[in-house]
Amino acid sequence: MSSPDGLLKAAAERLAHRTPLLDPDDLAAFVRPFFGRADTFLAAARAHGSPLYILEEHVLRERAQRFLSAFRAELPRLRAYYAVKSNNLPAVARILAEAGLGLDVSSGLELAAALPCPTDDIVFSGPAKLDPELALAVEHRDRVTVLMDSFAELERLERVAGAAGHVVRAGVRLMTDERGLWRKFGISLADLPRFFDAAARCPHVDLRGLQFHTSWNLGPASQVAFIRRLGNALGALDAAHRGRVEFIDVGGGYWPPQGEWLHATATPEGQVAQAISPVHKPPLRHHRCPAVPIETFAREIAQAVKQHIFPHVQCNICAEPGRWLSSDALHILLTVVERKADDIAITDGGTNAIGWERFETDYFPVLNLSRPSPAERECYVLGSLCTPHDVWGYAYHGTDIQPGDVLLIPTQGAYTTSLRQHFIKPLPSVLVLP
pLDDT at residue 334 in the model? 98
Neighbours of 148 (CB within 10 A): 27
Q: Where are the alpha helices (DSSP H) in 217-282?
A: 221-236, 239-242, 268-276
Please give the C-alpha separations between residue 368 and each of 334, 372, 373, in angstroms, as whole numbers.
10, 6, 8
User: Under 8 Å CB-to-CB from 127, ≥6 apart: which residues?
Assistant: 149, 150, 153, 184, 185
CA gap 367, 359 in Å, rounded: 14
Residues of the chain with pLDDT under 70: 1-17, 272-273, 275, 277-282
pLDDT at residue 264 in the model? 85
CATH assignment of 19-54+329-433?
2.40.37.10
DSSP one-letter string for 321-336: --HHHHGGGEEEEEEE
**Maximum CA pair distance of the chain?**
72
pLDDT at residue 281 in the model? 66
**Domain spanning 57-260+292-326: CATH 3.30.70.600:** no
pLDDT tens, residue by residue, 235-281 = 999 999 999 999 999 999 999 989 999 998 888 777 766 767 666 56
Domain definitions of the chain by residue range: 19-54+329-433, 57-260+292-326
pLDDT tens, residue by residue, 87-133 = 999 999 999 999 999 999 999 999 999 999 999 999 999 999 999 99
pLDDT at residue 326 in the model? 98
Bond into 51 cis (ω within 30): yes
pLDDT at residue 285 in the model? 86
